Chain A
Amino acid sequence: MARDRHSSEDYVRPVRRILVGLLILVLFSVFVIWRIDSPRMERFRAALVDRIVPSFSWALVPVAKVADMAESFQSYQRIYDQNQKLRRDLRQMQAWKEAALRLEQENAKLLNLNKVRLDPKLTYVTGVVLADSGSPFRQSVLINIGKRDGIVDGWAATDGLGLVGRISGVGRNSSRVILLNDSNSRLPVTLQPSGQRAILTGDNTSRPPLDFLERPELVRPGDRVVSSGDGGVFPPGLLVGHVALGTDGRLRVRLSADYERLEFLRVLRNYTVGRVTDTGSLLIPLAPANSVSALGDPLGADAQDD
């Protein structure tokens, strides 16, 4: 009996081996295709995620809520202190509120005098965070608005306080937001009040560092960091955070957005974003092409003159 079984395996084994080899080959070619035509495969990924994740959002969101509640139960011990602190804060806030109201009235008056109209393009769509679909190496969240709601790749997402990230990958009912601290995130920023330009480089930590800062000595911890709008990806002037000095001596940014509690995200509509549609447009820099044509024109004119 036992022999019988083994002899049957002698036929099965080579066939099996071939099939497994084929499977590995197929998966590896998927990887190669992903490498060659990344935007298309990422669209495939977005479509697949769009199929899978919203289908169990009914469970994801409540579970997250319960976890949050458990966390807040722990803080009940400190509730008295918190209450006192809130009362103090409230008194200060009331003073601020008065000031804000006065400023608002003044602002409205001035706007009226100048006939300024706010940019109507900057409206937003609000979405709920569905899932934290980042691996530990990728910081991203999925939100429950997608192509159906007119979301486009590259739009900025904020949480009401500060910039959170940018849309990267849009499905029908969901889209992915790559957070500012993801290792692939690069954001051109302006530091206020010194007016320095820098690049905010995500490095998977909660305090991303500032790179390409021309004169770091002009920057103080506590300076405001806003998006600069360079490169035309984000609208300028969105609050990102404040400068902080890291323990390693680098200038880092304490993000204004509350990354611990991302619940609702506002996606800012911005139709001027340059879209990435194929791999080619990523590789060719535009500026040299212009300069070549600028050089080419006089030559062409010469040729015609001759």
Chain B
Amino acid sequence: MIDSAVRARLAHWALFLVLVFIVYFLRLIPANPGTRQLPDPYWVVIFGYAWVIRRPDYVPTPLFAAAVFLGDVLFLRPLGLWSAISIGGLEFLRARAQFSRELPFLFEWAMVAGVIVLMAVANRVLLGVFIVNQPDLASTGIQLLLSILAYPLVVGISATLFGVRKVAPGATDKMGHRI
């Protein structure tokens, strides 16, 4: 007999994988290759972050790492760097999940935005240190901006469609444990 909390957790792991698959799939569609002008947000990263702040147990680090690394491979990014950086961001937010539970959404948004901006800066700096060819600053900026703007949307979708909400302070699960 599987505990309902465990079942919910497994279901959300699967859901996260499905989301990642959909995001990558949509990007791979060869509708009009070579003419894309606008970069798209870091969907997988912001989904992961929105979830980890709400329910840290729904986004296990290995799963997230595998998803982002797959993105590195498929989309011609330097292998491993962006995954390493985004895991850093994930763990930073995971450590503050408890603390940000009581905070208003605006504050959480600002925190995530700050983390993503820092990650992009770290990415650029490291690529610069290793003398790797980089995309221009403007498109990175646009990508960052779009990611930050997409965050409330992702949070909304997660809450309404997938039931990923913050746990109220002091709430308990069925066994009486504090969550």
Contacts and interface: CB of A to CB of B under 8 A. Distances in A.
A23 B65 CA distance: 8
A31 B81 CA distance: 5
Contacts of A53: 28, 74
B84 A31 contact: yes
A39 to B, nearest CB: 13
Contacts of A130: 30
A61 B30 CA distance: 7
Contacts of A137: 39, 135, 139
Interface residues of B, number: 44
B78 A31 contact: yes
B84 A24 contact: yes
A204 B135 CA distance: 9
Contacts of B78: 31, 34-35
A27 interface: yes
B59 to A, nearest CB: 13
Interface residues of A, number: 51
Contacts of A31: 78-81, 84, 130
Contact of B133 (A5, A61, A183): A183
A140 to B, nearest CB: 7
Contact of B73 (A1, A48, A131, A136): A48
Given A27-B84, A34-B79, A184-B133, A133 B32 contact: no
Looking at B74, B132, B177, the one whose CB has the most chain A CB atoms below 10 A away is B74
Contacts of A56: 25
B74 A28 contact: no
B178 interface: yes
- Chain B at the A interface: SS class: loop
A60 B29 contact: yes
A41 B133 CA distance: 16
B91 interface: yes
Interface string A162-203: 000000000000000001010110000000000000000000
A56 B21 CA distance: 11
Interface string B53-87: 00000000110010001100111111111011001
28 contacts: A20-B61, A24-B84, A24-B88, A27-B81, A28-B84, A30-B79, A30-B80, A31-B80, A31-B81, A32-B130, A48-B73, A49-B73, A60-B29, A64-B31, A132-B30, A132-B34, A135-B39, A135-B77, A137-B39, A139-B34, A140-B76, A184-B133, A204-B139, A206-B35, A259-B32, A262-B30, A262-B33, A262-B34
Interface of A: 1-2, 5, 20, 23-24, 27-32, 34-35, 41, 45, 48-49, 52-53, 56, 59-61, 63-64, 67-68, 129-141, 179, 181, 183-184, 204, 206, 259-262
Interface of B: 25, 27-40, 61-62, 65, 69-70, 73-81, 83-84, 87-88, 91, 130, 132-133, 135-136, 139, 143, 176-178
